[in-house]
Amino acid sequence: MDSDKYVWIPRDLGFTKDIAVALLARFGCPYKPLFSDEPAGDEIRAQVEVLIAKEHTVNKATLEPWPNARLVSCAFTGIDGVDQAMCRDRGTAVYFVPDYSKTAVAELAVGLTIAVLRKLVQADKDARAGCWDRAVAPGIELHGKTVGIVGTGLIGCESAKRFVAFGCRILGWSRTAREAFVAAGGQYVNDIQALLREADVVVLHLPASAETHRYIDAAKFAAMKPSAVLINVARAAIVDTTALVEALRKHRIAGAGIDVFDTEPLTSTVHPLQSLGNAVLCPHIGFKTDVSLNRLREAAIENIGRFTRGDAKNRLIP
């Protein structure tokens, strides 16, 4: 048995061995890469000290095959699926990557907003079918609209910058006020109901937690304008899906752009949102751009280097 120490890497994260070796060396990580599709007997498993977790769940089953894992480097931002108590009891440190996709997600928030307001999905279908009917209902301009951003963390601030560029008025509600949000052109309101009453577009950037579970419910949809649009590029759990479907069907709100779902992936034609023409749906692609995925891979390795030298940045569990 050799004395090498390993970092286990999911193959579908997009690393090649050469890239992994180069990044590990660059960030001073004393580990060799072991990819998920490589054979690993008990001896090798015992030498794995670091796991890179791609899925959003880190629990007992994740760590059970790796008796000497000292670190889980999460290749994702949302930490609601991490069993923090279990990791702490086990003595396994956890790092995560909070900002790798902030630009990508903010851009999709704007893109979904325009897709809903300008009815781009239907326009594409019409053009492909040769339908050139000028009598159809016109789209709605984003310029001059009030955008309410619920959750003004890193991604919320990035969204504010982009909506300001479209000439929008920006309102924000969050548990913690941030100077960056105000600097981006946002204005905080003290009451979420006030934001919902005034906003033409409501953009969700809240994390999933016990406090935010089903936070956007029937009562909050009732507070929104009938002409308002909801954009969710955060977590499905923060919206009551049944209430959303009801609001869209009965036109209590005008439309929605949704990138996240309670169960993923969707099975074709069974989710109630799939049958609604006033909803634009994406298969959870907010994080998925060329630049953000490269940044993710690099950040996951960089956090291993931080752990090695005792740097607390991006550390969730010591």
Q: Which sequence positions are flagged as catalytic?
A: 235, 264, 284
Contact 238, 208 (CB under 8 A): yes
Q: Under a CB-based contact definition with an 8 Å cutoff, are residues 43 and 5 in contact?
A: no
Question: What does the block give as tokens for 49?
Answer: 């000290």
- 183 vs 93: CA distance, rounded Å: 35
Angle at 17 between CA 3 and CA 96, to 5 degrees: 85
Q: Which residues, at least 6 apart from 242, have a Cβ–Cβ distance to it below 8 Å? A: none
Beta bridge partners of 34: 8
CA distance to 20, 93, 156, 199, per residue, from 251 (Å): 50, 47, 27, 16
Strands 186-188 and 315-317, bridge-based pairing? unpaired
Strands (E), the chain: 6-9, 32-35, 48-53, 71-74, 93-95, 146-150, 169-173, 186-188, 201-204, 229-232, 255-258, 279-281, 315-317
Q: Quick one: which of 211, 136, 203 has its CA closest to 168?
A: 203
Q: Which two tokens stand for residue 283?
A: 């298969």
Take residue 289 and report the two structure tokens written for it. 């751009």
